[in-house]
Structure 1
Amino acid sequence: MYEPLVSVVIPFYSRVDWLIEATESVLAQTYKNIEIIIVNDGSPEKISEFLERYSSKITYVYQENKGAAAARNVGIKLSKGEYIAFLDADDVWMPNKLELQISMMIEKNSWWSHTNYVTFGLGKKEKIIDVSNFNGDIFPLCIISSPIATPSVVMRKCIFIDNPNIRFDETMKYGEDSMLWLQVSIKYKLLAIHQPLVKVRIRGSNSALMAYSQIKARADIWDKIKTDKIFNCKIKLSIFIKIAFCYCSVLYKLLNNLENKLDENFIEIISKFLYVFPWIIFKIEKKYLLNNRNR
């Protein structure tokens, strides 16, 4: 069986013990033609023991702290593989993840793919997230809702070679991955693999669990959509979705002004209450688009 080289990009900032778990899950893959690129995003942690243990098995690079988006972009630049797979340093892969995913991408002639995944951590019961309906032409659905887990994604490197403007947005602290999926989905159909091949660790800092982070991500995405001509000529959104995005944009500006005046936990409580309105609109619109697509 043909096994093209797969470059695995892992940005790292904290918790070396979790980085070890992530790295071991890559080394344990049944698919063996891989290179592991770890980008240290200015971590304050001591990782000399990690490097001593894995230096012969990885490509390692250090950069001043610029965020996960910048770290992933460095990994993309350094990659030599025909395919690029993303893995966060606190998540892990199932042993057959790459073998199954790469074989299905070759069989289906797919440009990019993602898989179901399992959430774990914080003492909660493991939960399987089914993303099988997020398949094929996901544009513009992915503007409204994007259940794609970054550690589940594999892409052909030629996407980045042919489109030098498609990269993780380094100006965004939250939602930079969703913005990339949006850019890619304009040109390429997505393959969804109906098997949980990734374990995504839930921690207090997960932006998907934080209302304030979601509001900021929505605000940033809306600003990008409004100013980018690539999106303007492609996107057709309902008036309700435009209102919801505008609401998030205004709301973020208000909350951002209060960030230095109020306790962080209190800001999050306010955000959860105020985010209910756009959250309902996004959920309704998502259901509407999925129902229409499945007819």
Structure 2
Amino acid sequence: MLKSQPFLSIIISCYNYEMYVSECIRSVLSQNYDNFEIIVVDDGSTDNSWDKIQEFGDRISAVRTENRGSLKTCLNALSLAKGDFIYFLDADDVLGEGALAEIAPYLRPDVSKIQFMLLPIDKDGTPIGNAFPSLQPTAGSGPLIQSIQKKGYYDTPPTSGNIYRRDVYEGLGDMAYERGIDGVSYLLAPFVGTVISIDKPLGKYRIHNANLSSFSEVTSKRMKAQVDRFMGRLHHLAELVQSRPTATEKVEVRNNYAYVMELNTMSLVIDGKRPGIGHMSAYIGAVVRENTGNKRIALCLFGLALFLLPNRMARHLAAIRIDPSRSHQIRSRFKQAFCV
């Protein structure tokens, strides 16, 4: 049973973010909400991150470990946290002014997750685009469950745009297929409680050279790894939902999600191959089945372009789809059109 005034654990994971971690911590300390703790975990940084973290003294709980990667670092911090709700905040991101006061009314026993939009900023903190993802103000999980059943996902912000009820993270078991803490958790949340969507930016998501490097390698190996991770989450979700008495529905996992077929199509293009007619027909069919309106049109045109364009141009188009740093203008148009 949750206490009448829920306690929030804010966990900041840091690896070589000496340029940003102080601003991140200050953005939490300045909140006008008192019932929380800050746990900062330095994941074996080789720069001066640990020195920056120690400057905050006893205002935070600071832990330093050997480098183990994001998932293990976050799981270790979770074991130290006392909160009824857990917020993982990346050390290069920023919590918006007054964000916790706005979120506080939703920290209720029936709420499994609160998600909010993030404003993209550059390394200097300058806004570089519109807040994302596009969220409708909702206080229910039905549409999200329907989206998972239909598409295998629902629109959700990166890690720093989500606060979870603690039990969503507990009992997850083996996540060897995963890299981050909230991959399967975001899918599980609608099945075990109410998901609150707030249609305004309450945080800032920093885009810089270090995190853009994760987009820079456009290879078929990477595409296949994303497919494995996507499918791994869904199979894991099906097991978790079946094992949890509070879950509302079962999950049936398919192999023909449009997202999976898109990644497989781009993998062929990146390897210098032209997708076959049967492959493209199945992909377009999945897009039509799972989407409506402008998004359906945009994805169909994207698929046809991968099929019809010369390989060099198709590879470039796939690279733009994958890498949001290649063109600010195209990135914004793609984000608005695809909303993935």
- What are the superposed Cα offsets for residues 15-63 of structure 1, whole Å, 9 maximum, x if unpaired? 2120111101001111122211111112112345324411211111122
The answer to whether the aligner puts 1:190 opposite 2:184 as a matched pair is no
Kindly state the Cα deviation for residue 79 of structure 1 after the two structures are TM-superposed.
0.6
* The 10-residue stretch of structure 1 (111-120 or 50-59) with the greater mean CA deviation from structure 2: 50-59
More off after superposition, 224-233 vs 133-142:
224-233
Cα deviations by residue, 1:203-258 (Å, 9 ceiling, x for unpaired):
343488566556523322214545776179633356641x7537747987x9xxxx
Alignment of 1:144-163 (within 5 A): 144-160=153-169, 163=170
Structure 2 unaligned residues grouped into runs of 5+ = 243-249, 296-340
Which of these two proteins has the greater Rg computed from alpha carbons? 2
Q: CA deviation at 1:5?
A: 2.1
Distance 1:225 1:43 in 2: 32
Name the structure 2 match of 1:85.
87
Amino acid at match of 2:166: K
Match of 2:260 among 245, 251, 262: 245
SS of alignment partner, residue 192 of structure 1: strand
- 1:116 maps to 117
Structure 1 residue 126 corresponds to structure 2 residue 132 = no
Q: 1:236 aligns with which of 245, 249, 252?
A: 252
| Change beyond 3 A, Cα 1:158–1:118 | same
2:141 is paired with a residue whose SS is: coil
Q: CA 1:231–1:272 in 2, change beyond 3 Å: closer, same or farther?
A: farther
My pick for the range that moved more, 7-16 or 214-223, is 214-223
Query: What is the CA distance between 1:119 and its match in structure 2?
Result: 1.1
In the alignment, is residue 12 of structure 1 matched against residue 14 of structure 2? yes
**Alpha carbons of 1:75 and 1:281: their partners in 2 closer, same or farther (altered >3 Å)?**
farther
- Structure 1, 121-130 or 16-25: larger mean CA deviation: 121-130
Q: Which amino acid aligns with 2:291?
A: K
Alpha-carbon distance, 1:125 to partner: 2.4
Matched residue count: 267
- Aligned match of 1:200 in 195, 200, 205? 205
In structure 2, relative to structure 1, the CA distance for the partners of 1:40 and 1:184 (3 Å cut) is same
User: Compared with structure 1, are the counterparts of its residues 42 and 99 closer, same or farther at alpha carbon in structure 2 (3 Å cutoff)?
Assistant: same
1:270 maps to which residue? 270
- Tell me if the contact between 1:166 and 1:183 (Cα under 8 Å) persists in the aligned partners: no
Whether the 8 Å contact between 2:122 and 2:207 is mirrored in structure 1 is yes
Partner of 2:326: none
C-alpha spacing 1:46/1:227, structure 2 compared with 1 (3 Å): closer
* C-alpha displacement of 1:279: 8.9
Unaligned 5+ segments in structure 1 are: 255-268
Secondary structure of residue in 2 paired with 1:126: coil
Asked whether the equivalents of residues 216 and 248 of structure 1 are also in contact (C-alpha less than 8 Å), the reply is no
What amino acid is the match of 2:205?
V
| Superposition CA RMSD, Å | 3.9
Q: What stretches of structure 1 move > 4 A for 4+ residues in a row?
A: 206-215, 226-229, 246-252, 271-275, 277-286
CA contact (8 A) 1:139 1:185 kept: yes
What letter matches 2:87 in structure 1? A
% identity of equivalent residues: 19
The separation in 2 between residues aligned to 1:57 and 1:279, in whole angstroms, is: 52
Which residue number corresponds to residue 34 of structure 1? 36
Is 2:302 the partner of 1:287?
no
Shift of 1:147: 2.6
Pair 1:100-2:105 in alignment = no
Q: Tell me the distance in 2 between the aligned counterparts of 1:274 and 1:229.
A: 34
Aligned to 2:178: 172
- The DSSP-based 3-state class of the residue aligned with 1:178 is coil
TM norm structure 1: 0.73
Residue 139, structure 1, aligned to residue 140, structure 2: no
Select the residue among 212, 219, 229 that pairs with 2:228: 219
User: Structure 2: how far apart are the matches of 1:37 and 1:201?
Assistant: 20
